[in-house]
């Protein structure tokens, strides 16, 4: 079975083709970073318009790279949410239209399920069950995963997501958009220990998180020092976020008795986070799994893979176009059991 996957939830247009026997056949991506840089963040209307311009050319490119014709495609998967509603509708309308024209089923995919399953694209995928840390610009969640569609939300950020806090703090430092990766790069030049930032909500039980106060603490620290301190402040901020995530992951593993950890989403590419969680799992005698850096951010490959699991189980939507800006991950059911 070959599935065309379409991702347009925010500011990246991704198209990929996945074959259940041969693996990933094509993967194309266009980033809108330059488009939004002048505004310091994603402008939803501009994002939607750019998806309209780039999506069909990327579909043609992916089909050409794979050497496939429409008759070779067995289904179309598109991101239906969560995300920016206008951007979602571009991919949803295109995916539904292509499926209708090609006479194949279409499936609406949950964006975070795509991220959660992205490590399955690697040569050594994790076995179920495991704990997943989904950490991105829009979501920070700890999920117990017993199988595809079997998700129990254990904890999440009650305000800013970790990636959002990175980007907002970077903006306070005067760094360009997108600021998160630039803040991490700056942190590499900083000295650990000069500033001590709080580890929010780690002094109380539970797995929920909060990062908005950490951002405020960073703002006050930045205001009290000159530019020469920025690298040390960036280091302290990153240390605080990574420590908080590691503490919560350790608690989740202890609470569930599981010893496999998956880290996915845009922030999972952070080298400091990978190193600390890797050390945690080594100490516990467990295993940690990540997608490759290219599959940490939004991409069509993860949507094609996630969609395939459900299409193979007989799922598929009618001609209605589905776009859901807010869509809880734990509302999903195992393949073949969703409405």
Instruction: Answer yes or no: is 225 a known binding residue.
Output: no
Taking a C-beta distance cutoff of 8 angstroms, is the pair 22, 308 a contact? no
**Which helix or strand (DSSP H or E) is residue 237 part of?**
helix 230-256
Taking a C-beta distance cutoff of 8 angstroms, is the pair 3, 74 a contact? yes
Instruction: Answer yes or no: is 136 a known binding residue.
Output: yes
pTM, 2 dp: 0.95
Of 55, 117, 50, 48, give the one whose Cα is nearest residue 83.
Answer: 48
Instruction: Answer yes or no: is 84 a known binding residue.
Output: no
Taking a C-beta distance cutoff of 8 angstroms, is the pair 59, 5 a contact? no
Instruction: Answer yes or no: is 270 a known binding residue.
Output: yes
Of 64, 161, 153, give the one whose Cα is nearest residue 332.
Answer: 153
Instruction: Answer yes or no: is 324 a known binding residue.
Output: no
* Chain segment 41-74, per-residue pLDDT in tens: 999 999 999 999 999 999 999 999 999 999 999 9
Beta strand residue intervals within 82-231, DSSP E: 106-110, 130-135, 140-147, 150-156
Q: How many CB atoms lie within 10 A of CB 278?
A: 15
CA–CA dist 119, 142 (Å, integer): 16
From the number of C-beta atoms within 10 Å of its C-beta (0-12, 13-18, 19+), residue 51 rates as: buried
Quote the pLDDT of residue 339: 57
**What mean pLDDT comes out for the span 160-168?**
95
Instruction: Answer yes or no: is 115 a known binding residue.
Output: yes
Instruction: Answer yes or no: is 135 a known binding residue.
Output: yes
**What mean pLDDT comes out for the span 17-32?**
98
Average pLDDT for the chain: 96
Instruction: Answer yes or no: is 180 a known binding residue.
Output: yes
Taking a C-beta distance cutoff of 8 angstroms, is the pair 291, 265 a contact? no
* Chain segment 108-156, per-residue pLDDT in tens: 999 999 999 999 999 999 999 999 999 998 899 999 999 999 999 999 9
């Amino acid at each position: 079975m070959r599935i065309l996957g379409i991702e347009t939830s925010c500011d990246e247009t991704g198209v990929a083709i996945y074959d259940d026997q041969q693996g990933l056949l094509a993967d194309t991506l266009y980033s809108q970073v330059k488009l939004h840089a002048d505004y310091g963040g994603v402008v939803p209307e501009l994002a939607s318009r750019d998806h309209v311009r780039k999506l069909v050319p990327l579909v043609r490119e992916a089909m050409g790279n794979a050497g496939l014709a429409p008759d070779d495609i067995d289904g179309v998967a598109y991101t239906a949410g969560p995300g920016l509603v206008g951007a979602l509708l571009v991919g949803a309308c295109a995916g539904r239209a292509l499926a209708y024209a090609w006479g194949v089923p279409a499936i609406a995919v949950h964006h975070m399920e795509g991220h959660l399953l992205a490590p399955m694209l690697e040569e050594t995928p994790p076995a179920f069950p495991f704990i997943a840390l989904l950490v991105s610009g829009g979501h920070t969640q700890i999920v117990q995963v017993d199988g595809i569609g079997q998700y129990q939300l254990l904890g999440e950020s009650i305000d800013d997501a970790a990636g959002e806090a990175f980007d907002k703090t970077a903006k306070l430092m005067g760094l360009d958009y997108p600021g998160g990766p630039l803040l991490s790069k700056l942190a590499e030049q900083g000295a650990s220990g000069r500033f001590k930032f709080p580890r929010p909500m780690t002094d109380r039980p539970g797995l929920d998180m909060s990062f908005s106060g950490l951002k405020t603490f960073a703002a006050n620290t930045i205001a009290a020092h000159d530019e020469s301190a920025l690298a040390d402040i960036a280091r302290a901020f990153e240390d605080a976020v990574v420590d908080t995530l590691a503490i919560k992951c350790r608690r989740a593993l202890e609470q569930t008795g599981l010893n496999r950890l998956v880290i996915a989403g845009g922030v999972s590419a952070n080298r400091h986070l990978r190193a600390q969680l890797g050390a945690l799992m080594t100490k516990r005698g467990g295993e940690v799994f990540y997608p490759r850096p290219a599959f940490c951010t939004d991409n069509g490959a993860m949507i094609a893979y996630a969609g395939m699991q459900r299409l193979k189980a007989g799922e598929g939507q009618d001609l209605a176009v589905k776009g859901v800006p807010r869509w809880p991950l734990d509302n999903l059911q195992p393949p073949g059991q969703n409405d």
